[in-house]
Structure 1
């Protein structure tokens, strides 16, 4: 399978002018929705800013977050102090092919905006996952929604898809993995607003909170050995995955991806529980928008 408009995603495409235009337009939109039309509060923003701007050379960054609306990315980056207009620092993001790449115009805009199309249900070895690995090899920042789709109910984080876990394992340099949980985007862009459809424009006067955690630490050598041991007693149906460079067969990969995904899910769930107390603490303060502290 060929990669959808990969040429438009290259930094040198049209000397980078088209990327600057799209990133600037998207950044202005994100700032407007997040900081002007609505009120956003962020916890632990310094950790994200530090990792985006000055992580170790060539070390990639993967963000994992819940997915409450089609606006989560890019609006979640529109908070005060975030360098959303910087094309070099801008994230790459895995985006649903059936939503963001449904025609040539959308495909071009999203590609220029550093989006990688993902076919939901296409598996972890689809061609565009290989492209995501190439971006990680370059030491880039990649944002993912490991739940795999939009969920607007305020319920515990669901079982995660294996795609993000597979990227962590298969990346040439193990990425830093940073969990983020947000709340409020489901009110800015509800899935069923009028006649069961989304509103034509983002809603306003809503409260958004973004909880940024600390990097998740994985003991990958120990987790690999445990996965190999567990796989000897398992009998999952296999579909012919290739072995990884370090020799994990499909059964061992499944055990390993399950363990990594559960560790990520648990970290996100802890942030979700923390966000409830965080929301209560600043919603009850009745502070005007200009006095909401971003920290």
Structure 2
């Protein structure tokens, strides 16, 4: 389908008018659901707003959050004070190919909405991950759900997929990584509402809480050196059973990483992000007491 209609995601497509119309409509919908039909509270909203509106030119922003419903995005951005109808400031997002890009109409709509198709189970070096990488290299804002699927249970953050970590490592400029955790969307859009199906429309009178953390800092060069050394000595990463030898070697910051070193590095970064998200989840639960 023409690389999943990548042309429709370009800012200058038809003068940018279709994109602006989509964000105006979807942003208004998100505002209505999050602020009028439900109650949304946000911890440290100013941190996110500052990074979206006024971070230094050329510095990419990568936000990560848990995934509790099919409406997390766009409802995450519907809280009071957030510029949810501004197409220029809006995030790029990784979206499940089998849900958001299953026909031409959906593909065009989600492309206008700055969504990038990702095939679940397709690996961290699948074709459209390079498109996500280009967004970061252009200094844009990208949002990911690194758990990789919807989990509606009130449970600890699941082991994160390594795709997000790979983007952090491969980006020309290390992005600002901002962890977020939310709750309540699983009640606004439950997976099994009636006859094991989602409701046709979002439910009302629910409480949504969004916890925004502090930016995470990664010294990628130092972490790469450590991963190269550790992967040689740790059989978990260096064994032939673990290493499929299908990943391309990558070079970054003057260093080359084989697959074993990449696995070690991506695992380390993912664990740090997961730990930060779990702390936010715990903080959110303490606020509810």
Q: Which residue of 2 aligns with 1:5?
A: 5
Matched, 1:260 2:287: no
Extract unaligned runs of 5+ from structure 1. Answer: 281-295
Paired with 2:76 and 2:246, the residues of 1 have a C-alpha distance of: 38
What does 1:255-294 align with in structure 2 at a 5 Å threshold? Answer: 255-280=264-289
What does 1:54-73 align with in structure 2 at a 5 Å threshold? Answer: 54-73=54-73
> Does the 8 Å CA contact 1:209/1:279 hold for their aligned counterparts?
no
Q: Cα distance, 1:219 vs. partner?
A: 2.2
Cα deviations across residues 117-166 of structure 1 (Å, max 9, x unaligned)?
00011111111000001111110000000000000001110100000000
Paired with 1:217 and 1:15, the residues of 2 have a C-alpha distance of: 37
Paired with 2:164 and 2:118, the residues of 1 have a C-alpha distance of: 12
Farther-moved stretch of structure 1 (240-249 vs 27-36) = 240-249
Cα deviations across residues 140-198 of structure 1 (Å, max 9, x unaligned)?
00000000000000111010000000000000110000000000000000001101111
Paired with 1:141 and 1:79, the residues of 2 have a C-alpha distance of: 18
Paired with 2:158 and 2:223, the residues of 1 have a C-alpha distance of: 22
TM-score of the aligned structures, taking structure 2 as reference length? 0.95
Q: Which residue of 2 aligns with 1:237?
A: 243
Paired with 1:158 and 1:201, the residues of 2 have a C-alpha distance of: 28
Q: Which residue of 2 aligns with 1:251?
A: 260
Q: Cα distance, 1:2 vs. partner?
A: 5.8
What does 1:14-163 align with in structure 2 at a 5 Å threshold? Answer: 14-163=14-163
Paired with 2:29 and 2:46, the residues of 1 have a C-alpha distance of: 23
Paired with 1:243 and 1:59, the residues of 2 have a C-alpha distance of: 25
Alignment size in residue pairs? 280
Paired with 2:144 and 2:245, the residues of 1 have a C-alpha distance of: 24
Cα deviations across residues 8-46 of structure 1 (Å, max 9, x unaligned)?
000000100000000000001100110000000000000
> Does the 8 Å CA contact 2:243/2:259 hold for their aligned counterparts?
no
Paired with 2:201 and 2:121, the residues of 1 have a C-alpha distance of: 29
Q: Cα distance, 1:275 vs. partner?
A: 0.5
Q: Which residue of 2 aligns with 1:286?
A: none
SS of residue matched to 1:90: coil
Q: Cα distance, 1:239 vs. partner?
A: 3.6
Q: Which residue of 1 aligns with 2:166?
A: 166
> Does the 8 Å CA contact 2:181/2:211 hold for their aligned counterparts?
yes
Paired with 2:278 and 2:84, the residues of 1 have a C-alpha distance of: 27
Cα RMSD over matched residues?
1.0
Q: Which residue of 1 aligns with 2:179?
A: 179
Extract unaligned runs of 5+ from structure 2. Answer: none
Q: Which residue of 2 aligns with 1:288?
A: none
Cα deviations across residues 221-271 of structure 1 (Å, max 9, x unaligned)?
221111111111321232421111231111100000000000000000000
Paired with 1:2 and 1:155, the residues of 2 have a C-alpha distance of: 40
Paired with 1:244 and 1:45, the residues of 2 have a C-alpha distance of: 36
> Does the 8 Å CA contact 1:23/1:113 hold for their aligned counterparts?
yes
Please identify runs of 4+ aligned residues in structure 1 that moved more than 3 A: none
